[in-house]
Amino acid sequence: MIDALWTGWRSQYLSSLPKPFEGSHLEGRSVFTQILESGLTDDETFIVHRGELVFAILNAYPYAVGHLMVLPKREIASLAELTPAESLELWSTVSHASEVLKSEYKPHGLNVGLNLGPAAGGSVSEHLHVHIVPRWRGDANFMTTVANAKTISEPLIETAARIRHAWTTS
């Protein structure tokens, strides 16, 4: 029998996250669109790759070191809305990002996926994004369950630098 662990704290956590671009002229747009149009540098926003139609950015609240997302630059909510060119670039960028993470972090595996719609867990459901999360055997530890905390062993600025370097050399 599988035990179900209550994680009701997650909805509180998600609703408590800071909205770094609140009050800007871009309010009402996804956080990803706000980041793209903010004028901030890639170093400030943790964008690790910009393509013609898509980009890759670190998750500001990662599940594991190296957790990144690949998104179309255009704010759309569903796979059906992707143009053929966006779809091709999105999935080729997901493939390349996966290889970058494997070469730089040597994970035992990767989780690659999408949360389409709020009910699927998509906290930014208005802007399609593909998560790529490096995983290691035994990486689910007691901290989240017992201490209501996650341990991330590397600052985002260091992760971004490592991934950008690996991106250009692979």
Positions marked catalytic = 129
- Which of 70, 20, 29, 78 has the alpha carbon at shortest distance from 50? 70
Number of residues assigned to the chain: 170
- Residues whose CB falls within 8 Å of the CB of residue 41, separated by 6 or more in sequence, listed in order: none
3-state SS track over 32-88: HHHHHCCCCCHHHHCEEEECCCEEEEECCCCCCCCCEEEEECCCCCCHHHCCHHHHH
What's the CA angle centered on 9, arms 8 and 10, to 5 degrees?
A: 90
Read off φ and ψ for residue 123, nearest 5 degrees.
Answer: -80, -15
